[in-house]
Structure 1
Amino acid sequence: MERLTAGWRRTEVRGGREWNVQPVSEAQAVKAYLCPGCGLDVEPGVAHLVTWRADGVLGDAADLAARRHWHTHCWRIGTL
């Protein structure tokens, strides 16, 4: 959990909700994830963003468990 909350994490407001946004570098991207923005894989070795609610009512652990990996472009243009 601490690994995800460290570094260049920032908070953004989208769709009236607060989101934690954590960049993942090419070197840190070692697994494939499904991007919720476009439905395609975020391939290993591709820099991207991990996002999770910053204002969830179930607490930090539940919000982190529901985190999603987005292509940077998809997050920028996406709507929640």
Structure 2
Amino acid sequence: MPRRNHHSGRRGMPKKGASKRARSAAVWEPRRLPDDGAAFLGTQVETGPSWDYGAPYLVRRMGASAAKKYYICPGCNQDIPPGIRHIVAWPRDSLRGSEDRRHWHTACWERR
């Protein structure tokens, strides 16, 4: 059985005899992800706090091992120290994107 070129079956990849120009043109570029963090695995849409009239918010749960800094919770105005699991939430339709992210205690987010 003849040996197949493993690149010949992939879309966008040049065949073995392709010119150098064709090979360089087939370089795959990853698509750019949103800067606001919406593409992270586990990001969900939930109803926001009452003072924002229930606007949709993007919400991520941060585990204790991922919490590396101190944050101020907007729900109780208290510290969230490093090593405490918490919620990161920001308005879905915000024009400022990641600048609007806020870190909440889990309990404060639940009673928002």
TM-score by length of 2: 0.60
Aligned counterparts of 1:7 and 1:27: Cα–Cα separation in 2: 16
* Identical columns (%): 36
* Structure of greater Rg: 2
- Secondary structure of the corresponding residue to residue 45 of structure 2: strand
Aligned counterparts of 2:54 and 2:76: Cα–Cα separation in 1: 21
RMSD value over aligned CA atoms?
Answer: 1.4
**Which of 67, 71, 86 is the equivalent residue of 1:33?**
71
Paired letter, 1:28: A
**Which of 18, 21, 41 is the equivalent residue of 2:56?**
18
Who is 1:66 aligned against? 100
TM-score by length of 1: 0.82
**Which of 60, 77, 80 is the equivalent residue of 2:111?**
77
In proportion to residue count, which structure has more strand?
1
Q: Does 1:55 align with 2:93?
A: yes
- Secondary structure of the corresponding residue to residue 64 of structure 1: helix
Q: Which runs of 5+ in 2 are unaligned?
A: 1-34
Q: Which runs of 5+ in 1 are unaligned?
A: none
CA deviations over 1:26-57 (Å, ceiling 9, x no partner): 0000001000001110110000000011022x
